Amino acid sequence: MPISAVIITRNEERNIDRCLGSLHGIADEVIVVDAESTDATRAIASSHGAQVHVRPWTGYSDQKNFANDLARHDHILSLDADEALSEALREDLLRRKREGFSGAFRLKRLTNYCGHWVRHGGWYPDSKVRLFPKEGTLWQGDHVHEELVLPPGCKVTELHGDLLHYSYHSVQDHLERIERYSTLHARALHARGKRAPRWKLWLAPAFKFMQGYLLLLGFVDGWAGWKIALLSARAVRLKYSKLRQLHVRDAKA
């Protein structure tokens, strides 16, 4: 049974070669929708035989829906550029292609943090539905609340093997994402009328650290588990601090 693989990109020359290489023999067509990259992303994608479409950035959901509409086959495998299929996942996909499949499929995502594979602290399995029927499936929401909406009654099955996620190349990369996403989360909370009492600035980050590092066994991952728990706590504090700033701005307006 044929599969269309779709990927949206912007300046992903660091990742796209690995991602597309893992799709060889799995995807019957590969569609890359690129948001006007200024690096070698498109050239690398073309060298793998991908169909490359250039489109100005319109948001995660809209870009992905546009890419899905270009697919020729009934089932779509949606990947991010910093993801790749593990060998075990490739084997399961090949088996199911031979046998035929229906419905949607959930993939277990295993994240690489600065060279360490993270299996604790709530980071694994970070399961995502990534293989789904084209007909009746839609991405909705913004990047903070981006969600895949499946057709009514669509059965979801979990695949064997891991989707390898090369997400954090350095601690600085993590810090930059925290800064960006904490702003987005604060704005989303503010739009829903949420508030951040002063006690939350201290207790919520402390709970986040203990939850990830102790309750969810983040310490088993060594240095990576410690750093993730510490920076996750920082992210919570920044989110509520920025939410308070938004309310102060409103009060002065």
pLDDT 10s digits, 38-93? 999 999 999 999 999 999 999 999 999 999 999 999 999 999 999 999 999 999 99
**Three-state SS for 11?**
coil
| Rounded Cα–Cα distance for residues 146 and 93 (Å) | 25
pLDDT 10s digits, 192-241? 999 999 999 999 999 999 999 999 999 999 999 999 999 999 999 999 99
pLDDT the model gives residue 101: 87
pLDDT tier, 6 (very low <50, low <70, confident <90, very high otherwise): very high
Beta bridge pairs of residue 147:
140
| Rounded Cα–Cα distance for residues 103 and 155 (Å) | 5
Share of the chain above pLDDT 90, in %: 93
Low-confidence winner among 18-22, 207-211, 249-253 (lowest mean pLDDT): 249-253
H/E/C letters for each residue in 123-185? Answer: CCCCCEEEEEECCCCEEECCCCCCEEECCCCCCEEEEEEEEEEEEECCHHHHHHHHHHHHHHH
pLDDT the model gives residue 144: 65
pLDDT at 146 over 90: no
Residues with Cβ within 8 Å of residue 149, at least 6 apart in sequence:
137, 138, 139, 140
**Three-state SS for 35?**
coil
How is the chain split into domains, by residue range? 3-168, 171-252
Record: fold of 3-168: Spore Coat Polysaccharide Biosynthesis Protein SpsA; Chain A (3.90.550)
Report, as an integer, the average pLDDT of 135-139.
96
